[in-house]
Amino acid sequence: MQLFSISTGIYFLLVAASAVAFEEGIVKNTDGDYIITFFSESGHWIQWQWEPATKIDPSVTWGIKQSSKSDSLAYSFTVANGVTSKQKLDLVRMIVSSTINGTQVIPTGWDGVSSSRKSNIIVSWSFQADGEGIKAGASQNGFGFESNDLPGIGAIELSGYTPTPALKQIYPNDISSFEDISEMNPIRDQFNSLHANDFIPRTAAIPRIAVPNPFDASVVISNIK
């Protein structure tokens, strides 16, 4: 009877300990994944594991020359994925001041898209085959487009391949939960920020300075500022 009481007491102590084992927050584990822990509005502890697309060590080299077809500038880029990368690099993206329609150069095995964003253009390339991309220690050339605008230093956003879904619930691991982080919880803003910046930036010369037609030096100088 005494043994039963001791065992029962230990059991309840373990339960009590497990009940306070969680703390709300976002931490990165040794694999580079984020563990998101929060207390739901329905009163349950939820824990997610999210694999970011930043387990890469990329580099970008670039070139600019006059187009062979017109007076525009032909921009070209080569992307390398460092030997320490843990993911294949499968997305290249940049925001530029302008491009010339129909001039985007797309390497074999990739898709390319150019779309307007306010006064800028988003140019991107994504690898076609799911789970593939530029392997660690490899590189890919053949990215490019033409533009009438002059170069400036800007960011190229590079991302690695992540499985679908990249976000999975790990606690409770026996019951799927569809609960989300409350809009009042500051963790939500932290996670949204991580998700919005889920890339590795590298600088390169890209179209940044609009050139008016007809040419006006004062406008060009104003665009540089």
* pLDDT, tens digit (0-9, with 9 covering 90-100), for 150-170: 999 999 999 999 998 899 999
H-run or E-run covering 101 = none
DSSP 8-class letter at 134: B
Burial class of residue 199 in the structure, from the number of CB atoms within 10 Å of its CB (0-12 exposed, 13-18 middle, 19+ buried): buried
CA 173 to chain centre: 27
| Span 129-155, pLDDT tens digits | 999 999 999 999 999 999 999 999 999
Average per-residue pLDDT for the chain: 87
Query: Region 196-222: what's the mean pLDDT?
Result: 79
Distances (CA, A) of 69 to 25, 47, 121: 55, 56, 22
Give the contacts of 131 (CB within 8 A, at least 6 positions apart): 88, 161, 163
Is residue 211's pLDDT more than 90?
A: no
Q: Measured between alpha carbons, how far is 164 from 188 in angstroms, rounded to an integer?
A: 21
Asked if pLDDT for residue 101 goes beyond 80, the answer is: yes
Alpha-carbon distances, residue 111 vs 48, 129, 167, 172 (angstroms): 31, 10, 25, 39
Of 198, 135, 132, the C-alpha closest to 161 is 132
How confident is the model at residue 178, as a pLDDT?
74
Give the sign of the dihedral formed by CA 93, CA 125, CA 75, CA 56: positive
Give pLDDT tens digits for 176-194. 667 889 999 999 999 999 9
- For the chain, list the domains and their CATH numbers: 2-52+164-196 (no CATH), 58-162+198-224 (2.60.40.2230)
Question: What CA–CA distances, in Å, run from 172 to 25, 27, 28?
Answer: 16, 18, 19
Determine what percent of the chain is predicted with pLDDT higher than 90.
Answer: 72
